[in-house]
Amino acid sequence: MHMSRNELARWQFELTWSLFEYHLERLRPGDFLWEPGPRCWTVREDAAGRWVPDWVEVEPDPVPVPTIGWVSWHIGWWWSVAIDHLSGREPRERTEVTWPGDGEAAVGWLRGLREEWLAVLDRLSDADLDATAPFPWQGDPAYTVAHMIAWVNTELTKNVTEIGQLRLLRAASDA
């Protein structure tokens, strides 16, 4: 069976997304801000009512364990920027991407990003896939849009695993 590069990337993305849905469907409101240990990164409501992530420019060692809320914000941030780049829009700054404020809204936001991503993938030709990737390598000609799509799939797989593991740890700690 012949499959184009774009079809293969979409198949890989859909496989990852099906694993993500497994966890998204099982998340409970209290899961998002549950802190599994004393050193955690999370999302916090600021004085203006915006939910912003814990962040430092240079990662500490060891890196704090993120909450599901933080990981869901992180997905929303990098994915929004990837979509902006491939849609020809000015990419958002990290500080412009805020967490929606609760788990149900975060899940809806992520599902909306999925729909935007699929629409972007549907528009890409083989020539588009061969163009220099604008993100995350800042236009390094060694990396193409096809590499960028593979990076999105891989980054999402990693983040899905993190959310799944945090969800399971929380469930086990409540048992």
| Cα–Cα distance measured from residue 129 to residue 6, given in angstroms and rounded to the nearest whole number | 8
| Cα–Cα distance measured from residue 118 to residue 110, given in angstroms and rounded to the nearest whole number | 12
Q: Specify the pTM.
A: 0.95
| Cα–Cα distance measured from residue 129 to residue 148, given in angstroms and rounded to the nearest whole number | 9
Contact status, residue 140 vs residue 4, Cβ threshold 8 Å: no
Q: How many helices (H) and strands (E) does the chain have?
A: 5, 4
3-state secondary structure of 128: helix
Q: Give the domain range for residue 134.
A: 5-174
pLDDT in tens, 80-134: 999 999 999 999 999 999 999 999 999 999 999 999 999 999 999 999 999 999 8
Q: Residue 174's pLDDT is what?
A: 82
pLDDT in tens, 121-162: 999 999 999 999 988 888 788 999 999 999 999 999 999 999
What's the token pair of residue 103? 């788990």
Instruction: Give the CATH number, domain containing residue 10.
Output: 1.20.120.450
Give the chain's domain count: 1
